[in-house]
Structure 1
Amino acid sequence: MNLGKETETLEFKKSTGEIREAMVSISSILNKHGIGTIYFGVKPNGDVTGQNISESSLRDVSRIVYESIRPQIYPAIEEVTLDGRHLIKVEFSGENAPYSAAGRYYLRTADEDREVAPEELKEFFEANKYRGKWEKGKSNATTRQIDRKAIKTFWQKAVAAGRLPDGRYTCPIVLNRFGLVTEDYLTNAGEALFGTTHPITLKVGIFATDEKLTILDMKMYEDNIYNLLSIAEEYVLKNLRWRTEITGIDRKEISEIPVAVIREVLANSFAHAIYNGRTNHEICIHPSMITIYSPGEYASKHTPEEYIKGNLESEIRNATISKILYLNKSIEQFGSGFKRIHSLCKDAGVKYSYKNTDNGFKFIIYRPQLQSDIQSVTLDVTLNGTEMSVLVLLKQKPDSSRDEIAEKISKTVRTVQRALDSLRDKGYIERIGSKQNPTWKILK
């Protein structure tokens, strides 16, 4: 029989002869996750070998835990039998970190225990003081206030991606499996991911210039994370520039910024946000750049450049939300967002930057070849806001219809027609073609 792989919360020891090493694992797991399990009688690869268990074996384990771990914990220690072999199972938890083993401090990294100095441990807790606590907290949403369609779509995609085992799933099974419920209520993570209470706000907008001055479009959505990710992706992709490449009989649409970059940045912005802060998610589309803002200050002591260049341990703010997005394949590689985004942008020749503030983290993707595609617009005091917005759109797409322009700038068709007439009279545009299917020539 095999129990699978060791994880950040599960450790295997061949026998109680490794009891001292087990105390190190308990300390490191408690400091990282606050809860874990150790089996004695299992090889590191998960094979169950069993061990001899005497009348005093469980008492000996309990005594050594008592002597070694500080602050003191009270684990559940029991003998279990698997496949005819006897094991000792130790389940432990604690909420008084940091914990030491024989006076030394450790942190869990994958399935390994790493000794750290008290100063480094303090930095770790400061950077991760939000992580986990908010996710596990009980929300005001009941287990009946769930988006069943979103949950079903999640498990279908996760199974199809091979990241969730094939099997029979229901909404209660999914919610319980990933710890998204507590009593009869959703946890904060559960409500944020799949709640019908409109828990998360997303603002999106298109601007005529690289400043937030002339607004061409502005919308606000309130929904759960799972739905907002699709809404955000659709909004950005709809407003990117696309080109067509024809190879033989195949026609391929290619966006100015790779779709994979957009998806990865969006997914990570939701995965690492602080959801009880003062600001909301925001996407701004400017002529030369797209900015994606995530609430909550940058959590890690390492810079994005350090993550890109090295193989550092990822510091994940919302472990449950990140796991759901990974299983759904919204995030391609769990905990390696910066490295993947950098690689995708480098391959596509796309530049990016970021800004970190006390309130949030803004990722900036620069739109390539803008100057050759769209002429800059000089603000003219003789143009009002509507005329300015219409002129910007015509410079982007000269054959735009009145209906298309009206939808983009949230004005009536009659208002757009007045703006077109005014721009023509002022010498900014000239109509080419019929009134029914015009193309506008930009004069200045």
Structure 2
Amino acid sequence: MNLGKETETLEFKKTTGEIKAAVVSIAAILNKHGVGTLYFGVKPNGDVMGQEVSESSLRDVSRNVFESIKPQIYPAITEVVLEDKHLIKVEFSGDHAPYSAFGRYYLRTADEDREVSPEELKEFFGANKYRGKWEHAKSEASSKQINKSTIKRFWEKAVAAGRMPSGKYTCPVILNRFGLVKGDSLTNAGEALFGNTHPVTLKTAIFATDEKLTFLDMKMFEDNILNLMDVAEDYIVKNIRWRSEITGFEREEIPEIPVAVIREVLANGFAHSIYDARTYHEICIHPSMITIYSPGEYASPYKPEEYIKGNYQSEIRNPLIAKMLFLCKAIEQFGSGFKRIDSLCKDAGVKYSYENVNNGFKFILYRPQIISDISDVTSNVTYGDGEALNKTEQAVLAVLNQNPEISREEIAERVSKTVRTVQRALGTLVDKGYIRRVGAKKNSTWEVLKK
């Protein structure tokens, strides 16, 4: 007889001779899920082998669990018989995590128990304190406050992707099928995914340099997750460089960063965010990089590079939101975001990095360098055969490239300088042959001569 595979809440031990390892597994499962089951007399592959069970062995298991796990728990320890083979079944639960085993702390990932420091454990609980609860709680939006066109696009994409069966769907069917309503209210997940209440905020900006000082464009969008996914992707795609390649008689437009990479980073950002604080997502496009920020601390005890190199079960803060993004193919492979992003970036020769910042997670995609870009903000840069430009002149020229009709006052606001400083920079750019005034004095604009 076989009991199946070990999971994050199910552990097998061959005999009570493995009691110390069993205690560690119990503590790890309690810290991750708060409830679990362990069998003595079962091989790791699930094959039932049985073991000798007596009053003494049952007491020994109870004593070891009671003495070694802190705070103390009171598991149900019973003898079970399967196909004439005797097993010890330990069922346990606890609401007072974190739990230690022999003075050390562990977390369960897949079927493994990983030792962590108290600091790591604290970060884990802080990042996941609302996991599984927030999504299913009632929101302040009624079940009628939905974007019907968004729901329709969702099921059309899901059916086309083969991830939902063909059928006659309606908005109530989708909401009820996936548990996105409670009574007359949308759940938090339902409002975030499909609400027409502008539940999620996205800030976007284009900067002239790699510092967040001189902005060339800045917008704010408020919508549901599925609509903002499209907005975010469209914003990045329209503001990155594309090159043309001729293959045979076909002309192919190729982006500097693959759209699949952009889509995967965005989808994972929206799937793993914290939404109950009404914080915002942010996209910043700089000359040498694109940063994509999502609110909420990193949610896993494993580092991104460990997911890339190994085969660990993904830690998903919002499993229902992640599932919906997977069904409509916003996420290509459920639970393997870092591995997929790493593979796509390597294929395209795109470098990336990531960091935890300000209670959120930032993913950075580095853009291939082009000579005409303002890529070095610490030294003078020369464009074409013109004279070198300093940092302020670079920023002013970048703003004029974006909008030649802009006023000195608006330029000053964007480059974070005084109007007098901007006027000096404009005069220098004229003297160096980069720009010139066009039109009557009162209604004149700037013409950029060298880019």
TM-score by length of 1: 0.65
Q: Which amino acid is 1:171 matched to? A: I
SS at match of 2:230: helix
The answer on 1:389 being equivalent to 2:402 is yes
Alignment of 1:212-291 (within 5 A): 212=212, 215-276=215-276, 279-291=279-291
Task: Give deviations 1:275-306, integer Å, cap 9, x for gaps.
Answer: 355852111223443222223455678776x5
Q: Which residue of 2 aligns with 1:129?
A: 125
Q: Which residue of 1 aligns with 2:139?
A: 140
Q: Which residue of 2 aligns with 1:410?
A: none
2-structure distance, mates of 1:37, 1:252: 56
Shift of 1:11: 3.6
1-structure distance, mates of 2:60, 2:217: 65
Shift of 1:30: 0.9
**Equivalenced residues, count:** 397
Q: Which residue of 1 aligns with 2:292?
A: 292
Quick one: structure 1 residues 166 and 70, their matched pair in 2 at CA, closer, same or farther if it must change by over 3 Å? farther
Shift of 1:63: 5.1
Q: Which residue of 2 aligns with 1:428?
A: 447
1-structure distance, mates of 2:232, 2:74: 47
Quick one: structure 1 residues 139 and 372, their matched pair in 2 at CA, closer, same or farther if it must change by over 3 Å? same
Quick one: structure 1 residues 86 and 196, their matched pair in 2 at CA, closer, same or farther if it must change by over 3 Å? farther
2-structure distance, mates of 1:328, 1:160: 8
Alignment of 1:30-69 (within 5 A): 30-38=30-38, 44-45=44-45, 69=69
2-structure distance, mates of 1:443, 1:358: 39
2-structure distance, mates of 1:29, 1:183: 33
The answer (yes or no) to whether the contact 1:307–1:338 under 8 Å persists in 2 is: no
2-structure distance, mates of 1:366, 1:265: 13
Q: Which runs of 5+ in 2 are unaligned?
A: 375-382, 407-436
2-structure distance, mates of 1:12, 1:282: 45
Deviates more, 1:127-136 or 1:294-303: 294-303
2-structure distance, mates of 1:32, 1:69: 15
Alignment of 1:165-184 (within 5 A): 170-171=173-174, 174-176=177-179
The answer (yes or no) to whether the contact 1:205–1:283 under 8 Å persists in 2 is: yes
Q: Which residue of 2 aligns with 1:402?
A: none
2-structure distance, mates of 1:209, 1:282: 17
SS at match of 1:371: coil
Quick one: structure 1 residues 289 and 107, their matched pair in 2 at CA, closer, same or farther if it must change by over 3 Å? closer
Shift of 1:316: 3.7
Quick one: structure 1 residues 425 and 69, their matched pair in 2 at CA, closer, same or farther if it must change by over 3 Å? closer
The answer (yes or no) to whether the contact 1:75–1:93 under 8 Å persists in 2 is: yes
Q: Which residue of 2 aligns with 1:401?
A: none
SS at match of 1:129: helix
Q: Which residue of 2 aligns with 1:318?
A: 317
The answer (yes or no) to whether the contact 2:191–2:224 under 8 Å persists in 1 is: yes
Task: Give deviations 1:336-394, integer Å, cap 9, x for gaps.
Answer: 5455434433332334445543344433323324324796998779x99986532499x
Quick one: structure 1 residues 358 and 214, their matched pair in 2 at CA, closer, same or farther if it must change by over 3 Å? closer
Shift of 1:19: 7.5
The answer (yes or no) to whether the contact 1:127–1:300 under 8 Å persists in 2 is: no
Quick one: structure 1 residues 141 and 351, their matched pair in 2 at CA, closer, same or farther if it must change by over 3 Å? same
Deviates more, 1:189-198 or 1:77-86: 77-86
Q: Which residue of 2 aligns with 1:97?
A: 97
2-structure distance, mates of 1:295, 1:385: 30
SS at match of 1:27: helix
2-structure distance, mates of 1:146, 1:88: 51
Shift of 1:155: 6.8
Q: Which residue of 1 aligns with 2:427?
A: none
The answer (yes or no) to whether the contact 1:427–1:443 under 8 Å persists in 2 is: no
State percent identity of aligned pairs: 60
SS at match of 1:261: helix
Q: Which residue of 2 aligns with 1:412?
A: none
Quick one: structure 1 residues 213 and 369, their matched pair in 2 at CA, closer, same or farther if it must change by over 3 Å? same
Q: Which residue of 2 aligns with 1:436?
A: none
The answer (yes or no) to whether the contact 2:43–2:49 under 8 Å persists in 1 is: no
Q: Which amino acid is 1:363 matched to? A: F
Q: Which runs of 5+ in 1 are unaligned?
A: 394-418, 430-441
Shift of 1:166: 9.7
The answer (yes or no) to whether the contact 1:143–1:184 under 8 Å persists in 2 is: yes
TM-score by length of 2: 0.64
The answer (yes or no) to whether the contact 1:207–1:285 under 8 Å persists in 2 is: yes
Quick one: structure 1 residues 147 and 70, their matched pair in 2 at CA, closer, same or farther if it must change by over 3 Å? farther
The answer (yes or no) to whether the contact 1:193–1:226 under 8 Å persists in 2 is: yes
Q: Which amino acid is 1:368 matched to? A: P
The answer (yes or no) to whether the contact 1:41–1:88 under 8 Å persists in 2 is: yes
Alignment of 1:73-84 (within 5 A): 73=73
Q: Which residue of 2 aligns with 1:71?
A: 71
2-structure distance, mates of 1:181, 1:37: 32
Shift of 1:220: 1.8
2-structure distance, mates of 1:235, 1:122: 41
Deviates more, 1:181-190 or 1:102-111: 181-190
Quick one: structure 1 residues 88 and 152, their matched pair in 2 at CA, closer, same or farther if it must change by over 3 Å? farther
Task: Give deviations 1:183-237, integer Å, cap 9, x for gaps.
Answer: 8766655544454443221012334555555654433222233332222112211
